[in-house]
Amino acid sequence: MALIVQKYGGSSVADAESIKRVAKRIVDTRRAGHDVVVAVSAMGDTTDMLLDLAAQVTPIQNPRELDMLLSSGERISMALLAMAIHSLGYEARSFTGSQAGMITTAHYGAARIVDVTPARVREALDEGAIVIVAGFQGFNRDTRDITTLGRGGSDTTAVALASALEAEVCEIYSDVDGVFTADPRVVPRARKLDTISSEEMLELAANGAKVLYIRAVEFARRHGVLIHARSTFTSGPGTYVLAPGMTRPEGQEGEDMEEPIVAGVATDLGQAKVTVIGVPDVPGKAAEIFKVVARSGANVDMIVQNVSAAATGRTDISFTLPKSDASAALKALAADQAEIGFESLVHDDQIGKLSVVGAGMRTHSGVSATLFEALSAAGINIEMISTSEIRISVVVRGDDLTAAARVVHSAYDLDGDTEAVVHAGTGR
180: partner contacted, choices Mg ion, ligand ADP, ligand ASP, none (Cβ within 5-8 A by kind): ligand ADP
Q: Which is nearer to ligand ASP, 154 or 207 (CB)?
A: 154
Mark the segment that binds ligand ASP (CB under 6 A) among 147-155, 270-278, 318-326, 368-376: 147-155
Q: Does 352 bind ligand ASP (CB under 6 A)?
A: no
Q: Which is nearer to ligand ADP, 75 or 122 (CB)?
A: 75
Nearest approach in angstroms of CB 322 to ligand ASP is 15
Q: Does 184 bind Mg ion (CB under 5 A)?
A: no
Q: Which of residues 362-391 bind Mg ion (CB under 5 A)?
A: none
Nearest approach in angstroms of CB 320 to ligand ASP is 22
Q: Does 97 bind ligand ASP (CB under 6 A)?
A: no
String marking each residue 47-66 x if it binds ligand ASP according to CB under 6 A: x-------------------
Please write down the HEC assignment for all residues of the chain: CCEEEEEECHHHHCCHHHHHHHHHHHHHHHHCCCEEEEEECCCCCHHHHHHHHHHHHCCCCCHHHHHHHHHHHHHHHHHHHHHHHHHCCCCEEEECCCCCCEEECCCCCCCCEEEECCHHHHHHHHCCCEEEEECCEEEECCCCEEEECCCCCHHHHHHHHHHHCCCCEEEEEECCCCCECCCCCCCCCCCECCEEEHHHHHHHHHCCCCCCCHHHHHHHHHHCCCEEEEECCCCCCCEEEECCCCCCCCCCCCCCCCCCCCCEEEEECCEEEEEEEEEECCCCHHHHHHHHHHHCCCCCCCEEECCCECCCCEEEEEEEEEHHHHHHHHHHHHHCHHHHCCCEEEEECCEEEEEEECHHHHCCCCHHHHHHHHHHHCCCCCCEEEEECCEEEEEEEHHHHHHHHHHHHHHCCCCCCCCCCCCCCCCC
Q: Applying CB under 5 A, which of residues 73, 152, 238, 352 lies at the interface with Mg ion?
A: 152
Q: Which is nearer to Mg ion, 12 or 197 (CB)?
A: 12
Q: Which is nearer to Mg ion, 73 or 152 (CB)?
A: 152
36: partner contacted, choices ligand ASP, ligand ADP, Mg ion, none (Cβ within 5-8 A by kind): none
Q: Which is nearer to ligand ADP, 396 or 414 (CB)?
A: 414
Binding stretches for ligand ADP (CB under 6 A): 9-12, 41, 152, 174-176, 179-180, 182-185, 204, 209-211, 264, 422, 425, 427
Which residue has its beta carbon closest to Mg ion? 152
Q: Which is nearer to ligand ADP, 70 or 129 (CB)?
A: 70
Residues in contact with Mg ion by the rule CB under 5 A: 9, 152
